[in-house]
Chains A and B, each alone.
Chain A
Amino acid sequence: MKITDFKIPTRLDEALAALRDLGPAALPVAGATSLVFIPEDQPMTAVDLNRLGLDGIRRDGDAFRIGAATRVAALQKRHEPGWVLDRVALTLSSQQIRNESTLGGNICRVFPWSDFPAALLALGAGLVIRGAQEKEMTADEFFSSQPARLFRGGDLLTHIRVPAVGAGAGFGYKKVRQTATGFSLATAAACLQLDGGGIRSARAALSAAVPFPARCAAVEAALAGKKASEGLLREAALNGLSGLKFKEAEGMSAEYIGRLAAVTLGDALVEAWAQAKEQAS
C-alpha cells in the first residue's frame, strides 16, 4: 500500500467529507494491520479513523453496541454475561495484532482467512453504516459479497450491534489452525436458541474453509424444531455441508478441508448447545 498523504480528522463529519472527496484515493485506516495484504499500486491518502469516538463497547438493551474502531484486544478482554466475542478475539492472530486490529477493519474487507464474519453471521449481528444518512443492515446482507463494495462512495461503518447471548441461548465458536497465531483452516460459529429440550432456532456459519464466509442453511434447517442431542448436531454438520465448495489450504486438499469444516462445525454446535443448556432459564 502506497500512502502518499494522510489526514487525521477529529469529527465524524470531517472524516466522511474527506472520504467522499478523496473517492477511490481514500484509504480509511484504524489499526492498519491489514495494509500489508493490500497490493501496492495507486497512491492513496490515508484517513485516520481513530479520533472519531468510534471505539468502545456498551450494552444497549439485549445487544452490545461496538464501535467499528474498537480494538480486537478490547473484545478479548471483556468478560460479562451475554458477551461471547472474547472467545473469537482470543484466537485472532497475535497479541500485537489484536492490540491494533479493529473489529471494523476485520470485516469491512473480508480476507480468505477472516474469522469475525462467521461469528457475526451466526450471532445475527447488525452493521451500522454512515453515509448521507445512517442505515443498519443485517450481517447476511453485509456479507452477501465483499463488504468493501459498500464503502467505495465514502460511507463508513461506524458500529456493530451484536445480540447478547441470553437465556436459553448458546454460542459456539471453533477455529482450526496449525499454530496458535496461524490463519484459519476452518472457522465455524453457531448459535442455538433452545426451547425446553428442543431447538427453537439455529444459526450456523463457516469461514476460511470456504471461498467466502457463509451461513450453512442446510445445517440450520436440519436442526430447527428438533430435539437437541449431540448426535443430531454432529450429523447435521456432517451432512449439511455437501453442497459447499471448499478450498485447499496449506498443502491440504479441498476434500480434507471439507471434512475438517464439517467436524469443526459439529464441535461449534455442541459447544453452543452446552452453553444454551447452562443458560437454560
Chain B
Amino acid sequence: MSTTRTITFTLNGKKRDFQIAPGELLVKLLRRSGLTGTKEGCDEGTCGACTVNVDGRAVLSCIMPAFLAHGRNVVTIEGVGDFDRVHPIQQALVDAGAVQCGYCTPGLVMSAKAMFEENPAASDEDIRVHTDGNLCRCTGYEKIWTALRNVRDANKPAQA
C-alpha cells in the first residue's frame, strides 16, 4: 500500500512541508490544508475552477499530482488578495458585474493573474486564449471580457 511522503514547496509565499499520499492531487492537498478557495468542478481538468499558479503558470490542480509541486512556488486565490488588499483583477471583476455565482471566479483570477504577470498589455486575443480553460455557465463571459480588458487598459499607462 501507499506510504506517506514528505514534499516541500512554497505556498502563498511560505515554504512548507506537506505529508502526502504519493498519488494525491494538488487540489485535495490544498483544500485539506484549509485553502478552500480553490474549487473542484470536474476533477478531470476540463472546467478550470481548480486553477492555481505554479511558478507563475496557471495550472489545473485537480489533475496535477501534488508531488510535481515539490520545490515549486504555488500561489492560490488566498495568496492573491484579501479585503484589505483586493487585487486589481478581483476588483475589476467585481466592478464589471462579472461575478455571478462566483464558483469559477477564483480559478479565473488565477488564469488572468498568470497572463497579466507575463504580459500586462495582453491583447484581446491573448485574453481569449488565456482564459479558454475557465468555464463559466452564469455570465456568458461578456462581463468577464469587459473586466479583463479593463485590467489591461489600466495596465497600459505603466507600460508606455
Contacts and interface: CB of A to CB of B under 8 A. Distances in A.
Q: Judge A-B direct contact (beta carbons within 8 Å).
A: yes
Contact of B68 (A4, A5, A32, A180): A32
B67 A6 contact: yes
A6 B24 CA distance: 11
A32 B23 contact: no
A73 B131 CA distance: 14
A179 to B, nearest CB: 9
Contacts of B48: 94, 96
B58 interface: yes
A235 interface: no
Interface string B57-98: 111100111011010000000000000000000000000000
Contacts of A1: 23
A6 B70 CA distance: 11
A100 B114 CA distance: 13
B64 A5 contact: no
Contact of A48 (B2, B3, B51, B67): B67
Nearest to A8: B70
B23 A180 contact: no
Main secondary structure of the interface of A (DSSP, over half): mixed
A33 B61 CA distance: 10
Given A99-B59, A100-B59, A4 B23 contact: yes
Contacts of A99: 57-59, 114
Interface string B1-32: 11101000000000000000011000000000
Interface in A1-43: 1-6, 8, 29, 32-33, 35-36, 43
Contacts of A46: 22-23, 65, 67
A43 B114 CA distance: 34
Nearest to A5: B22
A202 to B, nearest CB: 31
Size range of the interface on B?
20 to 34
Nearest to B5: A6
B68 A48 contact: yes
Contact of A181 (B22, B60, B70, B133): B133
Nearest to B1: A4
Contact of B65 (A6, A73, A94, A181): A6
Size range of the interface on A?
20 to 34
Contacts of A96: 45, 48, 51, 58-60, 111, 133
B129 interface: yes
B91 to A, nearest CB: 23
A113 to B, nearest CB: 13
B117 interface: no
A33 B46 CA distance: 11
A2 B24 CA distance: 10
Nearest to A3: B23
Given A33-B63, A90-B129, A96-B133, A4 B2 contact: yes
A4 B22 contact: yes
Among A1, A36, A50, the most chain B Cβ lie within 10 Å of the Cβ of: A36
A35 B69 CA distance: 16
A138 interface: no
21 contacts: A2-B23, A3-B65, A4-B1, A5-B3, A5-B5, A5-B22, A6-B5, A32-B63, A32-B64, A35-B63, A43-B2, A46-B23, A94-B46, A95-B133, A96-B51, A96-B58, A96-B60, A97-B133, A99-B57, A99-B59, A181-B132
Interface of B: 1-3, 5, 22-23, 44-46, 48, 51, 57-60, 63-65, 67-68, 70, 111, 114-115, 129-133
Interface of A: 1-6, 8, 29, 32-33, 35-36, 43, 46, 48, 50, 71, 73, 90, 93-97, 99-100, 180-181
